[in-house]
Structure 1
């Protein structure tokens, strides 16, 4: 009898289940959180980067960010099932049970928090905990109550670079750190509003209170979007002004902000789904490009 020597991972792991749990962590958003944390860590470190602490901060942030994203999907799985763009997520699609998603998400959040507190420092751990509490405890339920959720959600969205700075320095007292917070905060509002306009029918069917509701002409959205994009110009310039980055970042950062503003103005003129979609794609590219110029600036100079 010929014995088979073939090895299959499926005999030991349910690869589809593993993929579903990975999807539950919203890897794209989690990667963005970790990237923003790294920017804060690198700029906070100055010329002396502690790479061991950097690795610990990355792992701890990834754990707690993954858990936060997973728990958010548990909290909203019934509503996700009502929207076209989210109904195939692991919990509403019955790939993972609500009970298992809770156990998984809370394990990641707890593990990430303890890891940051032990391996990095208390300030970094507390910033990550604050991010999770605001996101899950205030922003998530507020999405069904008031359009103010956009501003509340921008706070935890902008805290990762603060957490990175805290991981590198152990304190929060720096102008540069708050400029990073301001960049991400001001970016996030037009980013979320553009998505809300593109997916407004979905949001309305699920009962989410996003700004397109009660703003049929888009005037309120226009004021907020363009206002934030204009404010991004001096805030992004601020990193150069205080000497944290050079002319390389200045040129790239300001050009990126001007392009982002351009798409915001186009939305202000048209106020329709196509212009909102273009603004959404511009927002997808803005933050990675800004961070890329920060890193290039550091590597070259």
Structure 2
């Protein structure tokens, strides 16, 4: 399957078959090489995945948290998330080399050879999967593996086909709290976990669309289709962002209404959603790169602050 999608990447007219494969890697110190492999894991995204998983674990634990299982869940989730990020970079290494924002990543910059990157990423993925199955439970492992599979086999190649990739990518992006809840409870049938899924899903669409609007020229030059077809003015992009931001309000209330969270979370969650909404409206009114940048930064702040609100609420 990996080779199939790798072959598809060669269809882009802007990609030279030998552009990135035959460079001789630079001589790097051990520390520099370690740093390169760490960058390959997309540490920021991996941290966000682990944080989202922890929220699901805490809420899924009810009144009794097993800290031993929680630590195992953190380790397994980190491994599989890091491997997924690394394998995504392996699959997109040629395309990354065509964009200013990604050209200096370890693989397109030839600081890591593709084969080593592939072995590294797959080792992390399957080590994390095995760890979760053995040390946590098979359901948590299955959710994490589904996250990886959708991200790599559906979202990653779809980025060259249609902007629908944003909705597809929001699914694996929103599954970590489900995985955390499954790690704590051993089930994926409880409605609370899917409300957490909805928060991350609806957050991710405006977050990614803001980035896509900011970097539309860079994305387009590399063959990525990250904006709705024919959306030259950005009206579709901004409307989709606004709709998803509005939907955060009822989801936030439902978490409170189902008694999964208390008044502290409800108040903080609503205020954060309102702040997010203000910038989505500004982007709709004026679809400039500057407003897209503001929306992006607000979105970056929103999700961790919502998770902090969950933990604060638990304290009270």
- Give TM-score, length-normalised by structure 1: 0.94
Answer yes or no: is 1:98 the counterpart of 2:114: yes
Give 1:246 deviation, angstroms. 1.0
Give 1:214 deviation, angstroms. 2.1
Give 1:59 deviation, angstroms. 0.1
Q: Secondary structure at the match of 1:130?
A: helix
How many residues end up aligned between the 2 structures?
A: 288
- Give TM-score, length-normalised by structure 2: 0.90
Answer yes or no: is 1:31 the counterpart of 2:47: yes
* Match of residue 243, structure 1, among 228, 248, 259: 259
- Residue 144 of structure 1 corresponds to which residue in structure 2? 160
* CA–CA distance in structure 2, aligned partners of residues 265 and 278 of structure 1: 11
* Match of residue 274, structure 2, among 232, 241, 258: 258
Deviations 1:106-136 (A, max 9, x none): 0000100000000000100000000000000
Answer yes or no: is 1:158 the counterpart of 2:182: no
Deviations 1:252-298 (A, max 9, x none): 10000000011000000001101100000000000000000100111
Once the two structures are overlaid, the 10-residue window that deviates more, 211-220 or 234-243, is 211-220
Give 1:173 deviation, angstroms. 1.4
Answer yes or no: is 1:55 the counterpart of 2:71: yes
* Match of residue 198, structure 2, among 147, 171, 182: 182
Answer yes or no: is 1:274 the counterpart of 2:274: no
Q: Which runs of 5+ in 1 are unaligned?
A: 1-12
In the TM superposition, structure 1's runs of 4+ consecutive aligned residues that sit over 2 Å from their partners are: none
Once the two structures are overlaid, the 10-residue window that deviates more, 23-32 or 241-250, is 241-250
* CA–CA distance in structure 1, aligned partners of residues 279 and 151 of structure 2: 28
Deviations 1:182-239 (A, max 9, x none): 0000000000000001111110110000116520111211221111011111011111
Q: Secondary structure at the match of 1:263?
A: helix
Give 1:153 deviation, angstroms. 0.2
- Residue 113 of structure 1 corresponds to which residue in structure 2? 129
Answer yes or no: is 1:78 the counterpart of 2:94: yes
- Residue 226 of structure 2 corresponds to which residue in structure 1? 210
* Match of residue 308, structure 2, among 280, 284, 292: 292
* CA–CA distance in structure 1, aligned partners of residues 55 and 254 of structure 2: 15
**Aligned Cα root-mean-square deviation (Å):** 0.8
- Residue 42 of structure 1 corresponds to which residue in structure 2? 58
